[in-house]
Amino acid sequence: MTSSILPDSRLSILPAAVSLLLEQIVQQTYPASALYVVATPIGNVGDISLRALHVLGKVDAIACEDTRNTVHLLTRYGLSKPLLAAHQHNERQIAEQIIVRLQKGERIALVSDAGTPAISDPGARIVDAVRNAGLRVIPLPGACAAITAISASGLLNDQFYFVGFLPNKTQQRNTLLASLRSIAATLVFYEAPQRIAACIESLVGIFEGERQIVIAREVSKLFEEIHRCSLSKAASWLDHHAHSEKGEFVVLLEGAPNFTDTHADEVEAKRVLNILLAACSVKQAASLAAEITGQKKNALYAMALKMKTQNTD
């Protein structure tokens, strides 16, 4: 026996596991008249599920963002299928064609160029139309750059806020970013290589420098890099790393530090005061509301007074 994990053992172990799984997958049900939303790899050709491969081989046609990319992908897996070009400019029309075909009992798959359709990619309009037509939509989970980057970030926050691509124009980008300053969840951005430096510059100008940032580049590919540092050091990291402005990026930014959700506090205070004011004076209502909500009595008194006046006007 050899302890090598190279070709021999690979060839003996993997096919057995794969054929066992394939047997189960082939026996599962694949309803007709359904749209299959299939995630494809974000770089590494191995990151596709066996179920996805089976469905891509079984469907009558594949609606895809760019037929050249999908032909290339299918060829790598030894597959060939009729393709329907479904990009952001023709989603509505193609949705109608897909619905007609589904109503005839066909199975159609929807893929994007990479990752999960409808995540910063076309697909949502087609899914919406198919659902509205009362037809079934079956998702096949798989790679998504945002989720993959979060999983390797080590940022200790269960919540994230997916922003996706930022506007190209500096002013629009900064306005959008400023509106995200108080969000406590991790912020998730997609960025293209030619804009990564401008994106970091905008982040540095708007958010606290001590927030952690994760720059995930070329995830699952040969030159994968997942760098984490404080925001104040991010620009210099980009400057000092050859190749750091090449490839595809997910940028994660730690949520607002010690953030209290003032809007949620206000809504809760109003709800409590509303009940109390029906039975108590302004002073009593403010005092009880302070005990119930833990908010400041003076602020609650001012709010109660305003509510009372508005109600009596």
**Interacting residues toward ligand SAM by CB under 6 A:** 42-43, 112, 114-116, 119-121, 144-146, 190-192, 216, 218-221, 248-250
**How many Å apart are CA 26 and CA 30, to the nearest integer?**
9
**Nearer to ligand SAM among residue 218 and residue 286 (C-beta):** 218
Q: Least distance in Å: CB of 14 to ligand SAM?
A: 24
**Nearer to ligand SAM among residue 40 and residue 212 (C-beta):** 40
Q: Least distance in Å: CB of 185 to ligand SAM?
A: 18
Contact 136, 108 (CB under 8 A): no
Alpha helix positions (H), the chain: 7-27, 50-58, 67-76, 91-103, 124-132, 145-151, 170-178, 196-206, 231-240, 262-277, 282-293, 297-312
Q: Least distance in Å: CB of 82 to ligand SAM?
A: 23
Q: Least distance in Å: CB of 248 to ligand SAM?
A: 4
Q: CA of 164: how far to CAs of 61, 214, 274, in Å?
A: 29, 15, 39
Give the three-class secondary structure for 221: coil
Q: Least distance in Å: CB of 37 to ligand SAM?
A: 11
**Closest C-alpha among 117, 122, 133 to residue 34:** 133
**Nearer to ligand SAM among residue 247 and residue 255 (C-beta):** 247
* Other Cβ atoms within 10 Å of 153 Cβ, number: 21
3-state secondary structure labels for all residues of 69-100: HHHHHHHHCCCCCCEEECCCCCHHHHHHHHHH
Amino acid at 300: L
- Reading across the β-sheet that carries 107-111, which strands appear in turn? 83-85, 61-64, 107-111, 34-38, 136-140
**Nearer to ligand SAM among residue 92 and residue 246 (C-beta):** 246
Q: Least distance in Å: CB of 155 to ligand SAM?
A: 16
**Nearer to ligand SAM among residue 34 and residue 146 (C-beta):** 146
DSSP 280: S
**How many Å apart are CA 90 and CA 105, to the nearest integer?**
23
**How many Å apart are CA 43 and CA 65, to the nearest integer?**
16
Q: Least distance in Å: CB of 109 to ligand SAM?
A: 15
Q: Least distance in Å: CB of 193 to ligand SAM?
A: 8
**Nearer to ligand SAM among residue 242 and residue 264 (C-beta):** 242
**Nearer to ligand SAM among residue 221 and residue 270 (C-beta):** 221
Tokens at 52, concatenated: 């996805």
Q: Least distance in Å: CB of 44 to ligand SAM?
A: 8
Contact 30, 55 (CB under 8 A): yes
**Nearer to ligand SAM among residue 99 and residue 117 (C-beta):** 117
**Nearer to ligand SAM among residue 47 and residue 208 (C-beta):** 47
* Residue whose C-beta lies closest to ligand SAM: 115
